[in-house]
């Protein structure tokens, strides 16, 4: 069964450093998302991406964040200058069509020291 | 921003009995509701969904009920099995927009 994959599974970085979280959505899916979950809190929407552009973003997704689909398979989330409060699980999700459910990847645990 | 709420952080149920997980929402524009199941160190896994034009959707042991007037939905699992032990997230959306998640309910099914 096709699945969303994410790498790395765990990323440790120093505050102020740039990180890139990678996702490979399900191959024929058209809508892509990033969510995050701070430990003990709910899953929060960051950004959605469709037709090679951001379709929606939350207040969390400030100028330090960017997304890219550099080729036909990868979908990346970049945090330019990480802060301690960026420590969280980051989930990528994709879906085929507008009214379909989103399929989530296993997540990347980001730890900012 | 608590548009989707799950007021019970945990629930314990005996194996074979019914598990009922509840969810409330505040945004009347939501038109699609989903339940996701999450195990530790894994991403949420889609379980079942319901459109706002329905009041019930059933899939095997899982049934979701939607009460639009009360802005309430529930997930029934019957019979509950130990493998159902996980955190269950309710989520809602409007159109193609992003999902709003509740805080989750940890279900423990006791053998």
Condensed to tens digits (0 to 9), the pLDDT of residues A17-52 reads 999 999 999 999 999 999 999 988 889 999 999 999
DSSP code of residue A39: T
Residue A1: is its pLDDT beyond 80? no
Residue A58: is its pLDDT beyond 80? yes
Using a CB-CB cut-off of 8 Å, the residues of chain A touching B103 are: 41-42
> Other C-beta atoms within 10 Å of B104: how many?
25
**Residue of B42, B97, B99 with shortest CB distance to A106:** B42
Of the residues A24, A58, A102, A108, the best mutation for testing chain B's interface (the one with the most B CB atoms within 10 Å of its CB) is A102
CB contact under 8 A, A104 and B36: yes
CB contact under 8 A, B101 and A44: yes
B96 touches chain A (CB under 8 A): yes
Residue B73: is its pLDDT beyond 70? yes
Which sign, positive or negative, has the C-alpha torsion B28, B34, B37, B43? negative
B53 touches chain A (CB under 8 A): no
CB contact under 8 A, A103 and B46: yes
Cβ contact B21:B91 at 8 Å: no
Using a CB-CB cut-off of 8 Å, the residues of chain A touching B99 are: 33, 35, 43, 45, 102
CA distances from B32 to A69, B50, B73, B90 (A): 27, 6, 11, 11
Residue A101: is its pLDDT beyond 90? no
């Amino acid at each position: 069964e096709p699945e969303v994959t994410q790498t790395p599974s765990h990323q440790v970085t120093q505050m102020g450093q740039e990180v890139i979280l990678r996702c490979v959505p399900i191959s024929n899916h058209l809508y892509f998302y990033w969510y995050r979950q701070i430990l003990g809190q709910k899953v929060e929407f960051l950004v959605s991406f469709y037709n090679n552009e951001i379709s929606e973003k939350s207040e969390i997704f400030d100028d330090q964040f960017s997304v890219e689909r550099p080729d036909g398979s990868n979908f990346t989330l970049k945090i330019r200058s990480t802060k301690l409060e960026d420590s969280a699980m980051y989930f990528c999700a994709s879906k085929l069509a507008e009214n379909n459910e989103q399929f989530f990847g296993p997540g990347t645990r980001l730890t900012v020291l | 921003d608590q548009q989707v709420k799950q007021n019970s952080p945990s629930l314990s149920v005996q194996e074979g009995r019914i598990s009922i997980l509840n969810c409330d929402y505040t945004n009347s524009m939501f038109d699609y509701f989903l339940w996701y199941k999450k195990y530790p160190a894994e991403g949420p896994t889609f379980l079942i969904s319901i459109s706002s034009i329905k009041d019930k959707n059933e899939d095997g042991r899982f049934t979701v009920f939607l009460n639009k007037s009360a802005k309430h939905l529930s997930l029934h699992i019957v019979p509950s099995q130990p493998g159902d032990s996980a955190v269950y997230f309710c989520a809602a959306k409007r159109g193609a927009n992003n999902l709003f998640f509740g805080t989750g309910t940890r279900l423990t099914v006791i053998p």
